[in-house]
Structures are given as structure tokens and as C-alpha cells.
Chains A and B, each alone.
Chain A
């Protein structure tokens, strides 16, 4: 019985970790859907946004003000990216755009550290950090922090879903995602749409950065962590928001379960690569991911 509760605990932990991965993956999906750009800089945007937020907090500003300011910076960043990079790279091959976002990532990393320094910044935004004990005799431990993070992530997804479905801009975004040229022909301005998705992705990055940052401290490794979002992405399919969530849950749970039950036999530390191998094996059966658009190829 104890075994069973332990297993439930591991799965729950995995699901919480998964929602956090999904949070980062969301930013990737938003940009990929609307502009077909595989945005490598997303992880660095998470880091940069979190650095800005922490920086403003350390200057003594109240949390709301810091959040609004950091959000404003991310929106300004979206404008800058469109104005100075994307505008000139219309119609280039995906690989070129991908490389450009790696360039942006380098720039952002240097810029963030130039502004706020390269130290580890602890971040405490008042999320309760205790643990609940549930089950018979309290055998199962649930971190309150994880629950709050999952709720925030879920709320963000819900807000985004509403935004995509019911607002004018959301409809325009979906139109662009569907077909660039058709969207242009009915008068949707592509450049503005790009700014909007980059801004939304920036805000998602800000939320992700705050949550990850208050768990791990705001530091360089946040941007590496974002690489973990990649298997989540391909598992769910690049173009699907629900895919990012489900992919995140699968990867999170799989990783934790494998680490605990498989790790001791083959030497531990398998969390590093397990997600990628799962994604690779999965793709062999379904090359477009779980919820990705079916790939139709014509000569």
C-alpha cells in the first residue's frame, strides 16, 4: 500500500514538473504557429524576463509594478525583434530564421547580464512553500508550491485559450497560423501579428520565468532548462497548444517515474536524456507529434 502511495506521489510530482515544462513550451508553440519560426531564444526570454522582474523587485518596487514593467519590457522587446530582425528575414528558409533566433538568444543573454549582472538572484514572491500530507497517516507529501505553480500554469493556458477563441486579435492569429497568404489577402497585417505573438510569448516567458525562478533562483541555467521544452514540443506537435500541455505531462511523469524506478539499475541521472529518447521513439510511430497537423507532402 505504501508502494502505491509512493507511486502516486512520484506521478503527481511528475505532473507538476510537466506543467512547468508546458509553460515554457507554450511560448515556443505560440511563435511557431503564427510565424513558422522555431524560436530558440524562448529560453533566454524566460531568463531575461525573470532577470528584469527580479531587478525591479530589488530596486524596491512593489511586485505589481515590477510585473507590469517587466511585461512592458518584453513587449518592447517584441517590437525590437520585429523591427530589426524578422522584418528583413521574410521568406527566408526556416533554418535561417532558426539561426537568427540563436543569434537573438546570444544577444539577449549578454544584454540581460549586462543590465542585471550574472549573479544568482533569489526570488520570493510569496507562494506558500510548505507541504501537505495526504492519504492514510499522511504517507504522501504534496508540495504546496507545486500546486500553486500548476494552478497558475493552468490559468494561463485557460486565458490564452479564451484569448485565441473569442477576441478579434485571437481570430487573426488563428487565421495567420492557418495560412499566411490567405490571411494577408483578407487584410490581416502580418507584421503586427508577429509583434503580438512575440509579445504574448514574452509575457508567457515572464510568468514561466517567475515561477521557475522562485523555485531555482534566477540564474543562467534557466535558459538551459528551456531545452527540456523541446521534447515536450515535438511530443505534442509544434503547432498545438493542448499538445504542449499533454506533452509536458507525459514527459514530466515519464521522467520522474523512470528516474525513480529505472534509474538505480542503469546508474542514475537519466533525467537528462530520457525525455529526448522518449520523444524520438514516439516520433517513429507518429512523425508529426500527438496533436500536430498531419504532414502532407506533394511533389
Chain B
């Protein structure tokens, strides 16, 4: 009834190729962003903003990064955590070496450094495919983390080896470090998330995104119709690692407030991979859905017994949590292998005909 295409006429190519072709979609997305930017900081408390929304949004950025690589270009990577770490450590080096640099530039430069490292580790993808490639990206994961832990230069020879993130301001408000208010950090991250998601959505529907998808669907055929695999695969690695790097900088600067390699271990990579798969391969919306689902699920499982008045020992909960988490993942893959984004698409399809389905 509300969500429909009938009666919406496009009179120009621009309108036909717009990001949101149906006004309802556009209004919906804009209102969600406005709600997140204007209402949530007011109604949200320290816990919700600081411990749930901030990490989830950062993970959503990393998930978009991996989704570009895996969902759009078809290259499986298990090194997401390492690329995040690369962003975090290089961001830290840049922020401390050039204290006058605005923080947004630090974040972007951190992402660019991660992108260059990503390209280096993406080079094998030209010869190696599938699971073989996944295992070689593990080389990036273990080698980079080892490097960041062993070479004291990366942490400015800090004695503890775990330096705190330097406090930086934007528009006169502190946005990084432990002293920054949770609202300022949240808005800072939200701005990055929205802009990066918008860029990603436009990238994947443009020429470059189409070449990625051609490579994903069948790389030999794509090569035959004149798509060069070298720049295509490497650009996917670069953009993907850039997103992961930005997520890494934000994670270190705005969430955990320290720069440490252990925050980006192999399980971080797997978490992001889960978010991509559960959210939906090849969908920007899916990245957000997946990030929220995977991040909130353990919290929900942890507190659910308390809500219904069950007293369960914590140790038991953590074991059961693992079991339920694993079982739910398998369940999801069986029921909807295309992820939450596909469920959303089905809902929209239903909404088009509601309340008079034929």
C-alpha cells in the first residue's frame, strides 16, 4: 500500500539510475540516518551508545570492506583483522608524528596505508583462487600481527607496548581517546559510517563494481570480454582494505582507546566474515544487518535468562552461548543462505502487494 512502484514515472536517465529509485526508499534511508544522528544521541545512554552502537557501526564499516572483496569481487579473505590492525597502527603513527593533522585526515590516511598493504597481500590472488587464497591471506593475518607486536617503532617505543590513543578534537569537541564524550565519538563514527556506506553503494553499481562482479561470477569469462583481472582484483583488495583500515583506526581511537595487536586477532577476522555471510553477500544493507545481528546476539543470549527470571551460572551461560551461536549460524545458512538482506528483499516484495496479494 505504502511501498509501491506504480505511479512513479522516471523522465530522465538520471532518475532511472538513481541510487534510490523509489521515493519511499529514499525517504526511509534519510529518516533512519536523521534518527541515528539527531534522536539516538539524545535518548541513548552511556551503555547503549558506548558499548553497543559504537562498536557495531565500526564493525559495519569493516563488514562493508570484506563484503566488497568477498561479496562483490569473490575473493575470500581471512585477513580482515590484520588490515584493521594495519589501519590502527599506521593511524597511530601518523597521529603522533603529525600532531597538527585533523583527525579525519588521520583516519583516512590510516585507511590508505592499510589499502597499500592490502594490495601487497592481494597480489597472490592473481594466481591463487578459492580456499587456497583464503589460507594465503592467513599469512597476512599472522605476519602483520607479529610485525606490529615485535617492532617497537610501531608503538613509538612505548614501554608497555600498548599505547593509549591520542586525544584529538573536531569542531572543538574531543572525539578520540578515553576522555571524549560518548555522544561525540558516536557522531564522529556515524558520519564516517554513512559517508563510507554511501560511497560503497555508489562504487558497486558503477563501472568498477560491475567489473568486480564480472570477475566474481567467472574470472576467465570476464577476462575474455576485456576486463583486466590485475587492476580489478587489486582495486577490490585496495578498497576493501581501505574500509577495514578505517574501521581499525576508529576501533582503536574511539572504542577501545588503546592501540594493541591483540584486538585484531584471527577471531576478529572470523567475526567480520560471519557478519558478511549472515548479512548477505553482495549487499550493503546486509552489512549493517549482519553487524547488528552478530554483535547483539551474544549480548542477548547473555541477558535473556535474566529477563525470564532464570538464575544460570555464568560459566554455563558462556558454554551454552557458544552452542546457540553455532547452531543459529547453521540454522540461518540452512534457512536462508543469502542472508538477512534477502529476507529484507522478500519482505519488500510482500509489502508491494500488501494488503491485496494475488
Contact = CB atoms under 8 A, between A and B. Distances in A.
Interface of A: 38, 84-85, 88-89, 92-96, 98-100, 102-111, 113-114, 118, 227, 230-231, 233-234, 238, 266-270, 272-273, 276-277, 279-280, 283-284, 287-289, 295, 297-299
Given A94-B130, A108-B326, A113 B319 contact: yes
B174 interface: no
Interface stretch (B97-105, B137-145, B240-248): B137-145
Contacts, number: 140
A231 B321 CA distance: 30
Nearest to A88: B334
Given A96-B337, A99-B333, A276-B139, A107 B327 contact: yes
B300 interface: no
Interface in B74-88: 76
The 5 tightest CB contacts between A and B, nearest first, are: A110-B322, A106-B326, A107-B326, A103-B329, A276-B139
18 contacts: A93-B337, A94-B130, A94-B131, A102-B274, A103-B325, A106-B326, A107-B325, A110-B322, A231-B135, A273-B142, A273-B143, A279-B135, A279-B139, A283-B124, A284-B127, A289-B132, A298-B220, A299-B220
Contacts of B129: 287, 295
Nearest to B76: A95
B127 A110 contact: no
Interface in B188-203: none
B138 A230 contact: yes
Contacts of A102: 270, 273-274, 326, 329
Given A227-B138, A280-B124, A85 B330 contact: yes
Interface of B: 70, 76, 124, 127-132, 135-136, 138-139, 141-143, 146, 150-151, 218, 220-221, 224, 266, 270, 273-274, 277, 281, 315-316, 319-330, 333-334, 337
B contact face: mostly helix, strand, loop, or mixed = helix
Interface centre among A104, A106, A287, A295 (most CB of B within 10 A): A106
Nearest to A85: B330
Contacts of A105: 326
B274 A287 contact: no
